[in-house]
A and B are shown apart, each in its own frame.
Chain A
Amino acid sequence: EQEKGLGALEGVGFRVGQGLSERLTKETPSFKDELDVLKFLCKDLWVTVFKKQVDNLRTNHQGTYMLQDDHFLLLSQLSNGKQYLEEAPKFLAFTCGLVKGALSNLGFDSTVTAEVLVMPCSKFQVVIQKS
């Protein structure tokens, strides 16, 4: 029941990601490679949606990326303690869809998962599928 709800949220985020990436990439030059696209996500897209850039981007150069936002906007209103740690990932479903949709529109199939270890810091793991 809850899975369906989160799935629906991610679906909505996906569609929004597609439209948003189309709008934001209108003036930008062509992306050279995967890393360029991820950097665009971390800077332009994140700033547009969350008013700040992603704080840390890591990659294993083999298609897996880790985006870390130390002060995630959607979690900032919740308490910083352990109280809502379990519930927090639900608030990230939409954002996972957003990232997935933006990547898909720019030509990359991916799976995106999110985790919260310490509030309000959230980590998004993006795995680009090799076709």
Chain B
Amino acid sequence: MAVCIAVIAKENYPLYIQSITTENELKFHYTVHTSLDVVDEKISAMGKALVDQRELYLGLLYPTEDYKVYGYVTNSKVKFVMVADSSNTALRDNEIHSMFQKLHNSYIDVMCNPFYNPGDCIHSRAFDNMLTSMMMQVC
């Protein structure tokens, strides 16, 4: 189950971050922040190779509990980070991939909203609902 989803701008500040529970929220924020370093590493490693947009990071970022942190980068260098509880081992690669696709679609809709200024925090209710349903659905 996805416990936390974040949208990070290309300048590495969060445009949107939401956790499924309000307790331990700071922990998830910190997890997302540390995962950004790994994301940057992967981006610079991509270099000249013609790679997929999709990028996956799997691993233990937090030593005491198991969390899997996934990353995804768009062509406009906006990063999506998803923290998932790895006690749910049924969560497969292509499920995560399709979740990121939906996230990307919602983000595009936010971008196309003429009342939204790129670079601002995202306050769209539709976006909120989409993300909440995504986090709920995977539980």
Interface residues of A (CB under 8 A from B): 15, 18-23, 25-32, 105-107
Interface residues of B (CB under 8 A from A): 10, 46, 48, 50-53, 73-77, 104-105, 107-108, 111-112, 114, 118
In the assembly, what is the distance between CA of A28 and CA of B74, in Å?
Answer: 10
**9 pairs of A and B residues whose beta carbons are closest in the complex:** A25-B75, A19-B112, A22-B111, A19-B111, A105-B76, A23-B108, A22-B108, A29-B50, A18-B118
How many A-B residue pairs lie within 8 Å, measured between CB atoms? 49
Tell me whether chain B's interface is mostly helix, strand or loop, or mixed. loop
Measured between beta carbons, the chain A residues less than 8 angstroms from B111 are 18-19, 22-23
Evaluate contact between B76 and A21: CB separation under 8 angstroms. Answer: yes
Measured between beta carbons, the chain A residues less than 8 angstroms from B74 are 22, 25-26
Evaluate contact between B112 and A23: CB separation under 8 angstroms. Answer: yes
Nearest chain-A residue to B104 (Cβ)? Answer: A26
A30 touching B46 in the complex, CB below 8 Å, given contacts A105-B118, A107-B76, A107-B77: yes
Measured between beta carbons, the chain A residues less than 8 angstroms from B50 are 29-30, 32
In the assembly, what is the distance between CA of A107 and CA of B9, in Å?
Answer: 12
Measured between beta carbons, the chain A residues less than 8 angstroms from B118 are 18, 105
In the assembly, what is the distance between CA of A38 and CA of B51, in Å?
Answer: 19
Tell me whether chain A's interface is mostly helix, strand or loop, or mixed. loop
Measured between beta carbons, the chain B residues less than 8 angstroms from A107 are 10, 76-77
* Chain A CB within 10 A, most for which of B76, B104, B105: B76
Measured between beta carbons, the chain B residues less than 8 angstroms from A19 are 108, 111-112
Chain A min CB distance to B40 (Å) = 14
Evaluate contact between A26 and B108: CB separation under 8 angstroms. Answer: yes
Evaluate contact between A30 and B51: CB separation under 8 angstroms. Answer: yes
* Chain A CB within 10 A, most for which of B50, B75, B105, B118: B75
The answer, among A15, A18, A20, A31, for a CB contact under 8 Å with B75, is A31
A29 touching B51 in the complex, CB below 8 Å, given contacts A21-B76, A22-B76, A107-B10: yes
In the assembly, what is the distance between CA of A32 and CA of B48, in Å?
Answer: 6
In the assembly, what is the distance between CA of A30 and CA of B49, in Å?
Answer: 9
In the assembly, what is the distance between CA of A5 and CA of B46, in Å?
Answer: 43
| 14 A–B contacts from the bound complex (CB under 8 Å) | A15-B114, A18-B118, A20-B112, A21-B75, A22-B76, A22-B112, A23-B108, A25-B76, A26-B75, A26-B104, A27-B53, A28-B75, A30-B75, A105-B118
In the assembly, what is the distance between CA of A19 and CA of B75, in Å?
Answer: 12
